[in-house]
Structure 1
Amino acid sequence: MNFLIVLATFFIMEGITWMVHKYIMHGFLWSLHRDHHDHSNDGHMERNDYFFAIFAIPTIAMMYYGTINHFNIYFYIAIGITVYGMAYFFVHDIFIHQRFKLLRDTQNPYLLAIRRAHKQHHKHTGREQGECFGFLWVPVKYFKMYFNKKRT
């Protein structure tokens, strides 16, 4: 049962990520997210990186609460959020934005579709007119772009 809680939380996080990205990061906290789109920061860290702490602190609190209460449901929800966060870091920061130079030459259609969708999201430097706010779910049109011989 605990594994199912972790798994369900992981998948639910995709919807939560989409909503947070669209309505909070591109909404009232745009001031933190802006440098991720306009690349105005020359260093390795961006103001956008503060979202790591914003999301980690409540997750750590849930994990702690779940631990002191005999590993209740909050602990397993926090584990699911943590696993999603690790996947996000790996795919978004390492694979897509190449903070570490890994997986540059992949030919995996799913990974290429994720990269293309994210590139489409970053095409817009302002907070409006965004698209592709999700992370792991990729609209079918990006797979079609991959299989298009012109590779537009």
Structure 2
Amino acid sequence: MLWLWNVLILLATVVVMEIVAALSHKYIMHGWGWGWHLSHHEPHSGKFELNDLYAVVFAGLAIVLIYVGVQGLWPLQWIGAGMTAYGALYFMVHDGLVHQRWPFRYIPRKGYLKRLYMAHRMHHAVRGREGCVSFGFLYAPPLSKLQAALRERHGRKINEDAATDQPDAARKNSRVK
């Protein structure tokens, strides 16, 4: 029966991590941690950006929790495993699907994945750290609510190309040339 508790702890941690990540994104990354996160909101040409250090910090914390859990504090290893699972989902959805940092390109045309994709595009529709919408990574509010919030806050001053389903690579290439 212990395996059931382990699975429940892991799954609960994935859910809690979405909340932690959204709050961290809004209040840390777009707050006092903007120095690292700024690199994510500007065009860049390399494979890595300073913002990737946030993933390193969370991965380090997960490793410590797994280690301490294996040493005897049982639930911590499963919390660390849940953080690791969330990190893998984040990497697939945010870095792969949304920002096209993988060698293949896929732009979802309908359903949940399109909603996630478009919500994050709208997050990047604002230049700078103020007035952004949609801070989660695996949950996205309805797109109509995000569009209304952007219009209310910025009118037509938003970065229109970031609010489309055009991938980052295509937008960057069109600016570089």
Once residues 111 and 105 of structure 2 are traced to their aligned partners in structure 1, the CA distance between those partners, rounded to angstroms, is 13
Once residues 47 and 141 of structure 1 are traced to their aligned partners in structure 2, the CA distance between those partners, rounded to angstroms, is 29
TM-score, length-scaled by structure 1: 0.87
Please give the secondary structure, in 2, of the residue aligned with 1:136. Answer: coil
CA contact (8 A) 1:37 1:126 kept: yes
Name the counterpart of 1:148: none
Structure 2 alignment gaps of length 5 or more = 148-163, 166-177
1:30 pairs with 2:30: no
In the alignment of these two chains, the number of paired residues is: 145
Once residues 99 and 143 of structure 2 are traced to their aligned partners in structure 1, the CA distance between those partners, rounded to angstroms, is 21
1:119 pairs with 2:121: yes
Percent sequence identity over aligned pairs: 38
Q: CA deviation at 1:103?
A: 5.2
Q: 2:97 aligns with which of 77, 95, 98?
A: 95
CA contact (8 A) 1:33 1:47 kept: yes
Please give the secondary structure, in 2, of the residue aligned with 1:110. Answer: helix
Q: Which has the higher contact order (CA 8 A, sep 6+)?
A: 1
Please give the secondary structure, in 2, of the residue aligned with 1:98. Answer: coil
Name the counterpart of 2:64: 61
Alignment of 1:2-151 (within 5 A): 2-39=6-43, 41-69=44-72, 72-102=74-104, 104-141=106-143
Structure 1 alignment gaps of length 5 or more = 146-150
| CA offsets 1:95-125 (integer angstroms, 9 cap, x no match) | 1111114351433411111110000000112
Matching residue's letter, 2:39: D
TM-score, length-scaled by structure 2: 0.76
Report runs of 4+ in structure 1 exceeding 4 Å deviation.
none
Distance 1:141 1:105, change over 3 A: closer
| CA offsets 1:53-74 (integer angstroms, 9 cap, x no match) | 11111111010000111x6000
Deviates more, 1:134-143 or 1:104-113: 134-143
